[in-house]
């Protein structure tokens, strides 16, 4: 049985305040925990069902973290998933290190993405398309929110995030990296089917309701748009990110 | 104040059984109801807040359905949205009419899409890319589920669905429409970036966990795949549909 203190600690990590206080976050469910065990993240502890433990004891035993056995019911109540019959881990967050696009690389820039499901989906899409760095505005939802981690389906282990004030960041990019494209999606932008992408660059995705903010728009050197053939007013930001990255990577 | 009978009726429409019994479904929220009012759907009744009614009285008054005024709180409790400060409508479902790809047209085929959010997202994406017909396996989640309607963001008014047994349907397509491509996404398919699409065709998207079923796979004439550049294992089916349709429409 899990101790009251541990349950209290696990519950506290659903809130950003306590994740920042402890520099730890939750990873839940079989797939996410398995991807985590194969990554370089520093794990503090794992709570696992007896079955999941037996199936993965090799991966769990050789490492220097605490392992606790719990029932599926205890696991579900300790975490945020509706059901979890596998495992949950408490993991050290990574430092908020500066990231930028190296030569030949593309980086995603998120201007005020508020929905955790959208951020997690975007991390997963970035990972599919080989993008390993995402710059987030300070108003973007917390990377370590359990819903973000769950929606990323393990891709949080391969993609890094850097939170910063975007105007200052993009100002720096513009001054130090000549010839780097900063692409942003706008309704009146150039058709992405006819866009040639520079070798190195940044792709800015805007807020779910308001798109890219005016302060960030000033730094966009190439306005692009996903052509519309029917009646829908808009696409979800995750969908738009996938279509843009597919066009970027097809060259 | 809404009558107990009306509230009971509205609640019943959250279940497929009662939607089928009454041949009606729920449309909720400002955007969806406004798109509905501009469509050819037959509306049975609208429950609206006083504010939404006043803002849209021209659209609401000229039509032959019952209008009831309610508070935002009553509206939220009567429907499925967490908050709804605008309106809710009870609408007649459309008959399950046979649909097929006419010359020069593409149709989506959904093989066992279970998640209502995914179906709604796919309807919205189809609408963006000018696809107006979707064929659904009998195991695909119900088109008129309130979550499907909500996720479609009004696109349910422009896209038609037809539920049928897919093997028999695709057998018929194969026998009657020569030269029509039936495309389906498989891990081992041909890179969509190098795929040339026929003028007329069908694009099959498979179940969230299992992909396209073996019975349906037999009818796929062109296996295609979205190339992967990074580490993620898969893409969500809505994301995959968007990327495939973007590649189809770029020709």
Q: What is the pLDDT of residues B126-151, one digit of tens each?
A: 999 999 999 999 999 999 999 999 99
Cross-chain CB nearest to A231 (options B127, B231, B247): B127
The CA distance from A111 to A89, in Å, is 30
CATH code for position B83: 3.30.1330.30
- Say if CB A221 and CB A204 are below 8 A apart: no
pLDDT at B251: 67
pLDDT tens-place string over residues B71-82: 999 999 999 999
Report, as an integer, the average pLDDT of B172-192.
89
pLDDT at residue B100 tops 70 = yes
- Say if CB A52 and CB A87 are below 8 A apart: yes
Same domain, A234 and A126: yes
In a domain, B86, yes or no: yes
- Residue B179: pLDDT band (50, 70, 90) is confident
In a domain, B123, yes or no: yes
Same domain, A203 and A128: yes
Q: Which residues of A touch B154 (CB under 8 A)?
A: 232-233
Residue that finishes a domain, picked among B24, B58, B92: B92
Residue that finishes a domain, picked among B92, B114, B132: B92
- Say if CB B109 and CB B228 are below 8 A apart: no
pLDDT at residue A136 tops 80 = yes
Tell me, yes or no, if A131 comes closer than 8 A to chain B by beta carbon. Answer: yes
pLDDT at residue A13 tops 70 = yes
Domain residues for the domain of B240 are: 106-249
pLDDT tens-place string over residues A97-130: 999 999 999 999 999 999 999 999 999 999 999 9
Q: Do B233 and A154 touch (CB under 8 A)?
A: yes
Same domain, A115 and A195: yes
pLDDT at residue B177 tops 90 = no
- Alpha carbon of B223: minimum distance to chain A alpha carbons (Å): 18
pLDDT at A63: 78
C-alpha distances out from residue B228 to A124, A131, B121, Å: 12, 11, 22
Tokens of A222: 């190439």
- Residue B176: pLDDT band (50, 70, 90) is confident
pLDDT at residue B11 tops 70 = yes
Same domain, A65 and A145: no
The CA distance from B230 to B236, in Å, is 15
Report, as an integer, the average pLDDT of A14-26.
98
Same domain, B55 and B132: no
In a domain, B97, yes or no: no
pTM over 0.90: yes
Cross-chain CB nearest to B128 (options A125, A235, A246): A235
Tell me, yes or no, if B250 comes closer than 8 A to chain A by beta carbon. Answer: yes
Report, as an integer, the average pLDDT of B150-162.
98
Same domain, B206 and B129: yes
Same domain, B75 and B19: yes
Q: In this structure, what is the dihedral angle of CA atoms A181, A185, A186, A190, given to the nearest 10 degrees?
A: 60
pLDDT at A251: 67
Cross-chain CB nearest to A249 (options B229, B236, B250): B229
The CA distance from A249 to A115, in Å, is 26
In a domain, A97, yes or no: no
- Alpha carbon of A250: minimum distance to chain B alpha carbons (Å): 6
Of B81, B89, B94, give the one whose Cα is nearest residue B60: B89
Tell me, yes or no, if B218 comes closer than 8 A to chain A by beta carbon. Answer: no
Same domain, A197 and A113: yes
How many residues in total does chain A contain?
251
pLDDT tens-place string over residues A23-32: 999 999 999 9
pLDDT at residue A80 tops 90 = yes
CATH code for position B155: 3.40.1280.10
pLDDT at A189: 96
Residue that finishes a domain, picked among A41, A70, A92: A92
Of B25, B187, B1, B29, give the one whose Cα is nearest residue B94: B25
Same domain, B116 and B237: yes
Tell me, yes or no, if B98 comes closer than 8 A to chain A by beta carbon. Answer: no
> What single DSSP character describes residue B57?
H
In a domain, A114, yes or no: yes
- Alpha carbon of B241: minimum distance to chain A alpha carbons (Å): 9
Q: Do A128 and B158 touch (CB under 8 A)?
A: no
ipTM for this prediction: 0.95
Same domain, A111 and A49: no
In a domain, B141, yes or no: yes
In a domain, B44, yes or no: yes
In a domain, B99, yes or no: no
Same domain, A81 and A180: no
Give chain B's domain count.
Answer: 2
Same domain, B204 and B138: yes
The pLDDT mean for chain A works out to: 95
pLDDT at residue B62 tops 80 = no
């Amino acid at each position: 049985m899990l101790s009251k203190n541990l349950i209290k600690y696990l519950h506290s990590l659903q809130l950003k305040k306590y994740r920042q206080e402890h520099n730890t976050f939750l990873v839940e469910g079989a797939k996410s925990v398995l991807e985590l065990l194969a990554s370089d993240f520093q794990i503090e502890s794992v709570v696992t069902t007896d079955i999941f433990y037996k199936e993965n004891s090799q991966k769990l035993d050789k490492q220097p973290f605490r392992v606790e056995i719990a029932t599926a019911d205890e696991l579900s109540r300790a975490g945020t998933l509706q059901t979890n019959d596998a495992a949950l881990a408490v993991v050290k967050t990574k430092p908020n290190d500066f990231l930028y696009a190296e030569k030949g690389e593309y980086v995603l820039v998120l201007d005020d993405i508020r929905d955790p499901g959208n951020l997690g989906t975007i991390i997963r899409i970035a990972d599919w398309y080989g993008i390993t760095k995402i710059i987030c505005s300070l108003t973007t939802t917390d990377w370590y929110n359990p819903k973000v981690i769950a929606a990323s389906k393990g891709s949080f282990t391969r993609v890094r995030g850097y939170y910063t004030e975007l105007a200052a960041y993009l100002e720096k990019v513009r001054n130090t990296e000549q010839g780097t494209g900063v692409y942003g999606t706008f309704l009146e932008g150039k058709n992405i089917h006819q866009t040639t992408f520079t070798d190195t660059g940044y792709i800015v995705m805007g807020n779910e309701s308001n798109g890219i903010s005016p302060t960030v728009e000033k730094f966009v050197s190439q306005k692009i748009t996903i052509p519309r053939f029917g009646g829908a007013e808009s696409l979800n930001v995750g969908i738009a990110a996938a279509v843009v990255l597919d066009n970027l990577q097809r060259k």
